[in-house]
Amino acid sequence: MEKISVIVSCYNEEEALPLFYEEIIKVAKEMNKKVDFEFLFVNDGSKDKTLEILRSLAKKDKRVRYISFSRNFGKEAAMYAGLENSTGDYVTLMDADLQDPPALLPEMFDLIKNDGYDSVGTRRVTRKGEPPIRSFFARCFYKIINKMSKVEMVDGARDYRLMTRQVVDSIISLKEYNRYSKGLFSFVGFETKWLEYENVERVAGETKWSFWKLFKYAIEGIVAFTTAPLTLAALLGLIMCAISFLAIIFVFVRALIFGDPVSGWPSTICIILFVGGVQLLCMGIMGEYLAKNYLETKRRPIYIVKETEKDNYNKK
C-alpha cells in the first residue's frame, strides 16, 4: 500500500502536540483503507517538553518518527529535514498548532490521486485573528515581490500542502542555504491545485513570529527570488547621473551669465546629503546580496541532528 509522510515542525509545542496527534490519527484512521501513514516530527531545538512528548509517542505508535535538532534552526530548516528524511510516496507539511486542518487531507489526497495534480497547496482567504497592521504589511509584501520576481508567490499561501514524491525530490535537489519555501515550491513548477479556507487560530501555545522576524523573512524572500533591487540601484544611479549632468550645465551657464560664485551653500549641502543617502542605500542593497552570497559559499549544513527515534530504541 502507498504511504503518506506527515511532516510536522515543532518549536516549543508541548501544549499543542497532544491535540495535534489526536487529530491526525483520526484522519489516518478515516483513510486507512486507502493509504498508510508515517508521522515525522521535527523538533527544532525546543526548550520545553516537546522532545519528551515525541519520545513517548514514538514508543507507543510505530508510525511516529522524529528528528531532534541540536538547536533551533528555524522552520525552513525543519521542513527541509523532514522532506529529506521522509519515506512516503506522498508527503504533506503541517504546523503543530492545528492552523493547518488535518481534516483537509482526504480531499487533498483525492485531488492528487484522481484528478492528476502533482501537488495540492492551501491558502487562507481571510486573515482573521491577525493584527491589522501585520495583514497590511503582508499584502504589501506580496504585491511588491510579485511585481519584482518571475516566480509567483501566492498571497495567503500556507506551507501546508500535499505533494507527490517527484515534487519532493525536486525540492530536496535545491540545496540552497537561504531557503524560502514559498518561492521554492513555485520555482519547481508542476500542476498545483489551491484549496482555500478561512484562517484558523492556533489551538494552544503562542506564535513564534514577531513582527521583526517576519520583516527579515520578507527581505530574505525578496533577496532569494529576485535581483530587481540591484537593477533598481543601477537605475537610480543612472537617473542621478542624468540629473547632475543637467545641474552642471545649469550652474555653469548661470555662473557665466551672472557670475555669482559665493551664494548656494544650502543647495550644496542638500545635494551632498541626498547623494550620500542614495549611495548608502544602493550599497546596502548590494551588501544584502553579497552577504547572502557569503553565507551560501560557506556551505554550512542546513540543520544538525542530535537524536532520532532510532537512538531512542537503542537506549532502552
CB distance 92 to 165 below 8 Å: no
| Residue range at the interface with ligand UDP (CB under 6 A); choices 5-13, 163-171, 180-188, 238-246 | 5-13
What b-and-e string marks burial along 221-238, b requiring 16 or more CB atoms within 10 Å of the CB?
A: bbbbbbebbeeebeeeee
Among residues 97, 120, 121, 149, which is the contact residue for ligand UDP, using CB under 6 A?
A: 97
- The H helix count followed by the E strand count for the chain is 11, 8
202 binds Mg ion (CB under 5 A): yes
Residue closer to ligand UDP, measured from CB, 11 or 37: 11
When asked if residue 9 is in the footprint of ligand UDP (CB under 6 A), the reply is yes
Residue 274 identity (one-letter amino acid): F
User: Is 74 one of the binding residues for ligand UDP (CB under 6 A)?
Assistant: yes
180-211 burial, b for 16+ CB within 10 Å, e for fewer? bbbbbbbbbeeebbebebeeeebeebeeeeee
Instruction: Give the nearer residue to ligand UDP in terms of CB position, either 217 or 289.
Output: 217
Region of 90-98, 232-240, 261-269, 286-294 interacting with ligand UDP (CB under 6 A) = 90-98
Q: Binding to ligand UDP (CB under 6 A): which residues in 129-188?
A: none
Q: How many CB atoms lie within 10 A of CB 252?
A: 10
- Say whether 41 sits in a helix, a strand or coil: strand
Which CB sits closer to ligand UDP, 7 or 282? 7
Residue 311 main-chain phi, psi, to 5 deg: -60, -35
Q: Is 12 among the residues that bind Mg ion (CB under 5 A)?
A: no
Nearer to ligand UDP, 118 or 309 (CB): 309
**Does 97 contact Mg ion by CB under 5 A?**
yes
Q: What is the distance of C-alpha 294 from the center of its chain?
A: 20
Residue 88 CA neighbour count, 13 Å, CB half: 26
Of 129-137, 148-156, 185-193, 202-210, which part binds Mg ion (CB under 5 A)?
Answer: 202-210
Binding residues vs ligand UDP (CB under 6 A)? 9-11, 13, 44, 72, 74-75, 78, 95-97, 99, 202, 207-209
Binding residues vs Mg ion (CB under 5 A)? 95, 97, 99, 202
